[in-house]
Structure formats: C-alpha cells, structure tokens
Amino acid sequence: MEGLLLRQMREEDLEEVYKINASSFTTDAWSMDAFKREFRLPYSRRFVMERNGKVVAYVIYWVIKEEATVMTFAVRTDLRGKGIGKRLLMESIKLLRGEAGKVVLDVRKSNIRAIRLYKRLGFEVVCERERFYSDGESALLMSLSVDKIDGGHGNKGTEALLAD
C-alpha cells in the first residue's frame, strides 16, 4: 500500500490511537491514562503509521536490557489485511536495532492472523503461557532476533522515517 509514513507517536495522536485500540481489543483494551503514561516512561518506544495524514496503526514497545517487548499493536479495523501491520512492525523494529537485540511478545493462541504475521517476520514460538489472560485464554510467547529483520526490503512505500 502506497502513501504510508512511519513516525514517532505524539501525544496528539492519542485520540486516534485510543480509538484503534478500543475497537481492536475487547478484554484487554487500554485506558487513555495508560496511553498517556507511556509518554513518561523512559523505556517506552511508540510509533504510528500514518496514511494521508491520518493515524491508521500504532505499536508500543518497552525496551529493557536490550529486549524490546511489544506492549500493544493494532491496525485500524477497516484497513487490515493490506500489509500495514507487517510494515509497521518491520520498520519500527529496524529503528530499535541500536538498542535492542531481541523482540518478544505475547499473543492469544486464537489470534491466528497476528500469529501468522509474526511468523512471516521470523518470530518463533518460545513457549505457551497457560491461562495468561484474564478470561483464561493461553498466550504464545514469541521471540525474534532483530538482526533477522531484513535491512534492504520492506521499505517500499514508507516515505520517511522521522525521528522527532
């Protein structure tokens, strides 16, 4: 998809980010306060994908001791299945290369679409965490070495990587 722009998340993006999050997660949605808190955490890294000036996807990582954990990640409901999620993860992981050697995440076992995306990027299942979520569902812990993310590909269509 053309016209995508990856950039740092700003506080004024939060209204849109909150909406995408709320429509993406039923039991695990974040409060607005939780999003605002991220801007005060020194280990929080936040990115959005913009299209035609509108935020269409976001991801937040915590980088601690060279390990980046995906805390929340979603694409706007009506724009899924077009490669935006994959592009956002791939490009943002590249930006974390200098400070993280590994990316980890937990994903619901039933979230086939997300699991497929992670596997396509090279993530591997480390283990299953039984009854990880409050509703009793188990999680898969997945992990990726950042040097597995290809530096030369996947950049097409991303117009700029801003570091403001």
Closest by Cα among 105, 106, 114, 98 to 151:
98
Site for ligand COA (CB under 6 A): which residue of 37, 54, 97, 120? 120
Q: How far is the CB of 35 from ligand COA (least distance, A)?
A: 15
Q: How far apart are CA 153 and CA 119, in angstroms?
A: 17
**Which residues in 29-88 contact ligand COA (CB under 6 A)?**
73-75, 80-86
Q: How far is the CB of 111 from ligand COA (least distance, A)?
A: 5
Q: How far is the CB of 114 from ligand COA (least distance, A)?
A: 4
Tokens representing 148 are 């597995």
Q: Pick the piece of the chain touching ligand COA (CB under 6 A) from 29-37, 90-98, 103-111, 129-137.
A: 103-111
Q: Cβ–Cβ contacts within 10 Å for residue 96, how many?
A: 19
> Quick check: 18 binds ligand COA (CB under 6 A)?
no
Q: Which helix or strand (DSSP H or E) is residue 32 part of? A: helix 32-38
Closer to ligand COA by Cβ: residue 75 or 144: 75
Closer to ligand COA by Cβ: residue 113 or 129: 113
Q: Pick the piece of the chain touching ligand COA (CB under 6 A) from 9-17, 114-122, 126-134, 143-151.
A: 114-122
Q: How far apart are CA 148 and CA 139, in angstroms?
A: 23
Query: Tokens 């990726």 — which residue?
Result: 144
Closer to ligand COA by Cβ: residue 44 or 86: 86
Closest by Cα among 118, 119, 141, 117 to 128:
141
